[in-house]
Structure 1
Amino acid sequence: MPARCLEKLPPFSILLFSLLAGLFFSSAVAADDSVFVGKPVMLQDHGAGEGPVWHPQLGLLTSGEGNINRRDLAGKTSVFRADAGSNGLLFDRQGRLLICDNKRRRVERIEADGSLNVLADSYEGSRFNQPNDLTIDSKNRIYFTDPQYGDRSGMEMLDDQGRKVEGVYRIDPDGSVTRIITHEVDRPNGLIVTPDDRFLYVADNNNELGGARKLWRFNLNADGTPDLETQTLIHDWGTTRGPDGMKLDQQGQLYVAAGLNKSRPPAQTADGPTAGIYVFSPEGKQIDFLAIPRDETTNCAFGGDDGKTLFVTAGGTLWSVRTAIAGYQLFSGQ
C-alpha cells in the first residue's frame, strides 16, 4: 500500500485516528507536559526501513531497500552504501560507522579511511543469526543483539544442550566477543546502555503467536555483563507488536518504537492505534506517546542542529517530530 502523509488522508480518517489514539492512551501525560513539540511530519515515503542515525555533516543515514541511504542536511536523498544488507547503524565516538549486517551475519565498522572492518562474524565457531541493533558503553565496548526472524533453518547458534540461541553479545576493544544474554530474553531486538553504564535496556520482540513483546532493564556490572538477577520488566505490549529500536534523550528518558495500528491475526492484534514512539522516564514509567499512522514503527534517532528532532522509521517511510529535550549522542562531530 503506498505511503501517505496525514495531510493526504481524508479528514474523517484523520479525526478517527486522533480520537482512537487519544482514548487508548488516556493515561499518558497532558499535552502541556509532552516531550514532543507539534505533530509528526512524513519526510520520505520509501528507503527508511530501519537503523536511523544522525551525523552532523552527513545528515541522516537509514537502512532500507538493501542499502544504507543518506538524507543530507538539505533533505536530498542518495544511496550512501549499496548492498549493505544492514539493519542497526551507529556512529562511535570517533565518527566511525558501525553496521549490523544481517545479510552477511556480522558486525562491521567503516574506518576513517573508508575501509570496511569486520568486527565479529561468529561466536565459538558458529555464525551469528541476524545482528540487529547495537549500542556502546563509556568504555567503548559494543553490545549487539542477534535475533532470528523468518526462516530458522540456517541457525548455527546453539547452547550446550542443543537449543537455538537468540542472544546478546559484547565486543570489547581488543576484539574479543562475549555472549552476555542467552535465554533470558525471547528474541532480543533494540538495545541501549545508559551513559553512566548503570543500565542495559533490551527490547524483547517476538511477534509470533505466544511470543514475548516486552521491554527489559538489567543492571550492568563494571565488567560489561548484565546482572541477570536484576532483570526488570518495564513494559509489556501484550499481543500487539513488541518493542523495536530505542534511543535516550539527555535527561535519561527512553524513546521506544513499538505497537501496531492494524491487527495481523492470529499472532498480532491492535486494540486501537498503538504504533508509534513510547517514552519512559528513567524510573521506568511511561510518560508520553507519539502516534505514527504507519505500520510498522521500527526505530528512531535524534538529530538536527540542536539535537531536538526525532526521526522515526516506519514501514519504509521516514517521519520527523520536534522534541522539548535534545537527544543523547555519542558522536558530536568535534
Structure 2
Amino acid sequence: MLCSLLAGLPFVSAVAADDPVFLSQPEMLQDHGAGEGPVWHPRLGLLTSGEGNINRRDLAGQSSVFRADAGSNGLLFDRQGRLVICDNQRRQVQRIEADGTLRVLADSYQGSRFNQPNDLTIDSKKRIYFTDPQYGDRSGMEMLDDEGQKVEGVYRIDPDGRVTRIIAHEVDRPNGLIVTPDDQFLYVADNNNELGGARKLWRFDLNADGTLDLKTQTLIYDWGTTRGPDGMKLDQQGRLYVAAGLNKPRPPAQTADRPTAGIYVFSPAGEKIDFLSIPRDETTNCAFGGKDGKTLFVTAGGTLWSVRTAVPGYQLFGGR
C-alpha cells in the first residue's frame, strides 16, 4: 500500500518509519494575534488571521497589522505570490493582486451566498478549492440542496471564475483541506464539534477535471469525542501535519480523558506516525516557513508557536 501511494507522489522520497519529524520542543512566539490561517512569504515573513485582521510577523520577529478589518480565516499565497483569502465575515474568497487591489473571486453559488469560507488549497492547474462550513448561528444560511437541506460544502474556483460544488453531504462540516502536489488526492478535515458531530480526516481521489471520485472516500483518522481536525500542511516527503485535539474537556460535546491538542503527523500511506503536543487550546492550524522551510508555525487559541522539523514543508510560492 505504501509503495503504491509513494509511486503516485513524485515529490516524495522514501520515508522510513523511524525517520524523525520534529527536532525541538514547541516555543511560544506570540501570546495574541494568531488565531488562524498562518502562511509564510520569504520576504514578508509570516501572516496570520487574528483579532479581525491579517497580522504580520516579519523576518526580524516584529509584529504589525498587515490588513485591518480583513475578516479572514484561511490564507494562502498562490504560485504568483498573490495572497488568497477566505473572508468568513463577508462570506467571500478574495485575492490581493500584484498591484495591491482586492479582487473578489467568489461570493455565491447558484445565487446563494456562501456560509463561512474557511480554508483553501490550490492545485497545479491554478484551481482553488475551499471549504464552507457554518459555525455558530445557522439562521442566516442560504446554501441549500435541491431538497431544501442545508449544505456545508467544498467548492472549486476555476481560473476562468466558474464555481463548482464538489462536496455536498459527504462530510459533516468541512474545515481544513489540502491537495497533494501531483493533484492525486484531496484531504478534507471533517470538524463538527457539536454533540454527535464528526471529527474525522478524509481522503478523496481527485480527478483530472477537478472533481472528486466520491466512491474513494477513505477515513484516515477519527478523533472520537475530542476536538476534530482543523488546518493542515504537507512536507516535502508527503507527510501530512494536522492541527487537532483539545487539552481540557468541554462536555457534553467535546470530551478528552487526556490532553490531545497539537499537531498529528500522518505518513503518505495514511498512518499516524507522530504527535506534537501544544499546551494551549485550541490548536487551529500550521504552516511551514523560515529560511530553510524547516520551521513549523502553529496557531493555537490566538497564540503562535514554532518548532523545528527534520524535513522542509511543501510551498506553492518560493519567490522573493
CA offsets 1:52-75 (integer angstroms, 9 cap, x no match) = 000000000000000000000000
Whether 2:103 is the aligned partner of 1:114: answer no
The residue number in structure 2 matching 1:3 is: none
- Looking at structure 1, the residues matched to 143 and 20 of structure 2 have their Cα atoms a distance apart, in angstroms, of 43
- Looking at structure 2, the residues matched to 197 and 293 of structure 1 have their Cα atoms a distance apart, in angstroms, of 34
C-alpha RMSD over aligned residues: 1.0
* One of 162, 171, 193 as aligned partner of 1:207: 193
Deviation at residue 193 of structure 1 after TM alignment: 0.2
- Looking at structure 1, the residues matched to 60 and 84 of structure 2 have their Cα atoms a distance apart, in angstroms, of 24
Deviation at residue 34 of structure 1 after TM alignment: 3.0
Structural mapping, 1:151-190, within 5 Å: 151-190=137-176
Deviation at residue 234 of structure 1 after TM alignment: 0.0
Whether 2:256 is the aligned partner of 1:270: answer yes
Whether 2:211 is the aligned partner of 1:225: answer yes
SS in 2 for 1:223: coil
Deviation at residue 333 of structure 1 after TM alignment: 1.3
In structure 1, runs of 5+ residues without a counterpart are: 1-28
* One of 220, 224, 241 as aligned partner of 1:238: 224
SS in 1 for 2:26: strand
Deviation at residue 42 of structure 1 after TM alignment: 0.1
- Looking at structure 1, the residues matched to 180 and 257 of structure 2 have their Cα atoms a distance apart, in angstroms, of 32
* Aligned-partner residue type, residue 313 of structure 2: G
- Looking at structure 2, the residues matched to 317 and 277 of structure 1 have their Cα atoms a distance apart, in angstroms, of 15
* One of 244, 249, 255 as aligned partner of 2:235: 249
Whether 2:255 is the aligned partner of 1:289: answer no
How high is the TM-score relative to the length of structure 2?
A: 0.94
In terms of fraction of residues, the more helix-rich structure is 1
* Aligned-partner residue type, residue 208 of structure 1: E
Whether 2:22 is the aligned partner of 1:36: answer yes
SS in 1 for 2:23: strand
Deviation at residue 183 of structure 1 after TM alignment: 0.1
- Looking at structure 2, the residues matched to 58 and 270 of structure 1 have their Cα atoms a distance apart, in angstroms, of 38
The residue number in structure 2 matching 1:14 is: none
- Looking at structure 1, the residues matched to 268 and 36 of structure 2 have their Cα atoms a distance apart, in angstroms, of 25
* One of 58, 63, 67 as aligned partner of 2:53: 67
Whether 2:302 is the aligned partner of 1:326: answer no
* One of 307, 310, 313 as aligned partner of 2:299: 313
CA offsets 1:101-157 (integer angstroms, 9 cap, x no match) = 000000000000000000000000000000000000000000000000000000000
SS in 1 for 2:218: strand
* Aligned-partner residue type, residue 54 of structure 2: I
- Looking at structure 1, the residues matched to 37 and 86 of structure 2 have their Cα atoms a distance apart, in angstroms, of 9
The residue number in structure 2 matching 1:20 is: none
The residue number in structure 2 matching 1:94 is: 80
* Aligned-partner residue type, residue 255 of structure 1: Y
* One of 20, 24, 37 as aligned partner of 1:51: 37
The residue number in structure 2 matching 1:10 is: none
CA offsets 1:64-99 (integer angstroms, 9 cap, x no match) = 000000000000000000000000000000000000
* Aligned-partner residue type, residue 155 of structure 2: Y
* One of 132, 138, 144 as aligned partner of 1:146: 132
Between the two proteins, the alignment pairs up a number of residues equal to 305
CA offsets 1:268-317 (integer angstroms, 9 cap, x no match) = 01121100000000000000000000000000000000000000000000
* Aligned-partner residue type, residue 333 of structure 1: G
Deviation at residue 33 of structure 1 after TM alignment: 3.8
* Aligned-partner residue type, residue 318 of structure 1: L
Identical-residue share of aligned pairs (%): 88
The residue number in structure 1 matching 2:10 is: none
SS in 2 for 1:294: coil
